[in-house]
Amino acid sequence: MPTIKSLDDLKKIREEALQKRQAKVESGSIEIVVGMGTPGIAAGARETMKAILDFIEKHKIQDVVVRQTGNIGLDSWEPIVQITVGNNPKVTYGKVKADLVERIMKEHVIGGKPVKEFMIEA
């Protein structure tokens, strides 16, 4: 990556990062975000993350981005998984232990229907 030498360089990187995000939304790709702060990891976010990656590999799902983030502020609901399909609103799931992953992935990521009973907010 080239170094940033001026404000314009910084703005260019910012634009590119924003464009990347926008392109993701427009292509209808799926973004899965796992909360990986200390509370998340303590509640089993690593196992959840692994289960998500295993599922994606097993079912050969294309066009999906899995990334991590910090704490969103709902520690008692960890592990928290946020799923965004294309430009649909983001869906936040709480207490997603590894054993819930299969159902959420099947119904939401493959089937396109959010699993309401595990959702935290509407």
Residues that bind another protein (CB under 8 A): 1, 3-7, 10-11, 13-14, 16-18, 20-21, 35-38, 41, 67-76, 80, 116, 119-122
User: Residue 87 CB, nearest distance to another protein (Å)?
Assistant: 17
Residue type, 13: I
User: Residue 21 CB, nearest distance to another protein (Å)?
Assistant: 7
Tokens 């008692």 correspond to: 76
Provide the β-strand partners of residue 81: 34, 93
Residue with smaller CB distance to another protein, 39 or 105: 39
Copy the structure tokens of residue 66: 């899995």
3-state secondary structure of 45: helix
Residue with smaller CB distance to another protein, 28 or 73: 73
d(CA 77, CA 80): 6
User: Residue 51 CB, nearest distance to another protein (Å)?
Assistant: 20
DSSP state of 3: P
Residue with smaller CB distance to another protein, 12 or 58: 12
Residue with smaller CB distance to another protein, 1 or 60: 1
Q: How far, in whole angstroms, is CA 24 from its chain's centroid?
A: 12
User: Residue 65 CB, nearest distance to another protein (Å)?
Assistant: 10
**DSSP H helical segments within 2-92, as ranges?**
7-26, 38-42, 45-58
